[in-house]
Structure 1
Amino acid sequence: MLPTPHVSCDYDKVYEPSEDSFLILDALEKEQAFLRTYFRSKPTVVCEVGCGSGIVTTFMMQNDIPNEHAIYLPTDVNPWAMDSMVESASLNNCCTKMLSPIRTNLTSSIRPREIDFLVFNPPYVPAESVPYMPLDSEANEGDWLDLALLGGDDGMAITWKLLDSLDKIMAPGGIAYILFCARNHPEKVVKTMSTRGWKCELTEHRKAGWEVLSVYKFYR
C-alpha cells in the first residue's frame, strides 16, 4: 500500500481530506500500472480539479502517477487551497516536480484539449442551490467550504458542467477519474456519457458511513 501524504492546511478554510479523498487515492493506486502502460513515457498534463488540501495531487507526484514525465496543474477557486497545495507538496518533498497550481473555476484557465489526465472530487452533496462565488474581500471562511461540498440538484450541478465540457478540455486519448455519491445517480451519468461516445468504467466503490461513494473512469 502506498503511503498517504501529509497535508498542511487550515481546515476552517480548506476541505479536510476524508473518505472521498482516500477513495480516490485507492483508485489511483489500483490504476497505477494501467496508467503507466497507457501513457508510457510521454509528457502528460495532469489536472486535479478542486485540489483543496493538495493530498491527491501530492500523492500523484509522490508516486509518479500517471508517469514520471507528468506536469501537474491542480486548480481550485479557493485562494487558501493554492497555499495548501504548495505547502503539502513541500511537506512531502515534491517541490522538484513540475507543479503549477492555478486558481480558477474548474478548468477555465487551461487551454482547450490540453489535459491528458484529469481527477475530480466534486462538490457532490445535494442542495437546493450551488453556493454563490464570493468576492475575496467579502468571503467568510465557511463560504469556501460550502463551495467544496454543495452540488445543487442531485449534487450534480458542478459535475455536469465538467462532464459537458470533457470533449473541449481533454486531449485526444485523455482519461478522467471522477467521484460520485449514490445520490448523484452515477448509473444515469454512465448511460448519458456512453451515448456521447465515452467509455465509462467503475474503478472503485465503497460504503463510507451513511454514503456510498464510487470513482468512475471516462475515456474514449
Structure 2
Amino acid sequence: MLPTPHLKDVDYEKIYEPSEDSFYLLDCLEDQKSYLESKFKNHVPVVVEIGTGSGIITTFLLQCILQEALYMATDVNPSACTCVLKTASHNCPHRAHLVDSLQMSLASAVRPNTVDILVFNPPYVPAEEVPELSPDDTKDTQWLDLALLGGEDGMVTTWKVLNGLDSILSAGGVAYILFCARNHPESVAQQMQRRGWKVDVIIHKKAGWEVLSILRFLKA
C-alpha cells in the first residue's frame, strides 16, 4: 500500500476534510498506477485536480504515481488553493515546484484540450440547489457547502464537467470522477457511452450508508 500524504495544520473549518471519498480516490489512483505510467511513458502529462481541498489527491499523485508530471490544482476556495501548495511542499519538498494552484470554477481557465489526466471529487450530495457564492462572501460554512452540495441528484456541478470533457481533455486524455449512488452513475455511464465515451468502473464500494463509485472516462 502506498503512503498517504501527511496533512499538517489544515483548518477543517475552511477546507473539506478528507473522508472515505478522498481515500477511495487514493485507492483508485494506486490501482491505476501501472496503467497511467504506461499510457504516459513517452511524455510529461498535465494533471488537473478540480476541487483540490486539502491537496491530498494531487500530492499523492505527485508523491506516488507520476512524479514527473505537471500538476494544476483548482478550487474556488482560496484557502484550499493555499493548502494544496503547503501539502505538496510538506510531503514532496524537492518536487513541489511541479504543482501550481489556481483559484477558479472547475477548469474554466484551463487551456482547451491540454489536460491528460483529470481527477474530480465533486460536490455530489443531492440538494435543492447548488450554493451560490458572491465575490464578497467569505463565510467559511459556505465554502464547505460548495464542496458538498451538488443540486438536483447531486449532479449539477458534475454534469458541467462531463459536458465539457471534449474540450478539457487532450486527445488521449483520461478522467476519473467520483459518484454516489444517488447520482445514478449507471445512467451517467450510459449517457456518456452514447456520446462516444468509454466508461469503466474502477472503484465501487460501500462507505457507511453510502455507496461510492469512481468512473474512468476515455474517448472511445
Bin of the TM-score, shorter chain as denominator length: over 0.9
Q: Secondary structure at the match of 1:74?
A: strand
Matches within 5 A, 1:89-168: 89-94=88-93, 96-97=95-96, 98-135=98-135, 137-168=136-167
Tell me, in whole angstroms, the C-alpha distance in 2 between the residues paired with 1:14 and 1:178.
20
Deviation digits for residues 142-173 of structure 1 (CA, Å, limit 9, x no counterpart): 01000000000000000000000000111101
Residue number in structure 2 paired with 1:17: 18
Q: Which SS does the other structure have where 2:46 is aligned? A: strand
Deviation at 1:95, TM superposition (A): 5.1
* Corresponding residue of 1:76: 75
Whether the 8 Å CA contact 1:49–1:120 is kept in 2: the answer is yes
Deviation at 1:43, TM superposition (A): 1.3
Give the Å deviation of 1:83: 1.2
Alignment check: 8 A CA contact 1:62 1:94 kept? no
**Structure 1 stretch displaced more, 121-130 or 78-87:** 78-87
Question: Does residue 189 of the first structure (1) align with residue 164 of the second (2)?
Answer: no
Q: Structure 1 length normalisation: TM-score?
A: 0.96
Matched, 1:26 2:22: no
Report if aligned partners of 1:61, 1:94 keep a CA contact under 8 Å in 2: no
Aligned 8 A contact 1:52 1:81 in 2: yes
Deviation, 1:87, is 1.0
**Gaps spanning 5+ residues in structure 2: where?**
none
Aligned counterparts of 2:92 and 2:149: Cα–Cα separation in 1: 32
Q: Which amino acid aligns with 2:109?
A: S
CA shift, 1:134, in A, is 3.0
Alpha-carbon distance, 1:213 to partner: 0.3
How far the C-alpha of 1:39 sits from its partner, in A, is 1.1
Give per-residue Cα distances to partners, 1:177-220, cap 9 Å, x unaligned: 00000000000100000011100000011100110001000002
Structure 1 runs of 4+ with >6 Å offset: none
**Residues 61, 67 of structure 2: 8 Å contact kept:** no
Report if the CA contact (8 A) 1:79-1:103 is conserved: yes
2:57 corresponds to which residue?
56
Residues in 2 aligned to 1:109 and 1:95: alpha-carbon distance in whole angstroms = 27
- Aligned pair count reads 217
Where 1:13 maps in the other structure, the secondary structure is coil
What's the CA shift for 1:15? Answer: 0.1
- The whole-number CA distance in structure 2 between the counterparts of 1:206 and 1:68 is 28
Q: 1:119 to 1:94 in 2, by over 3 A?
A: farther
Deviation per residue, 1:32-51 (Å, 9 max, x gap): 01111111131110000000
Q: Quick one: which amino acid aligns to residue 79 of structure 1?
A: P
Identity %: 53
CA RMSD for the aligned pairs?
A: 1.0
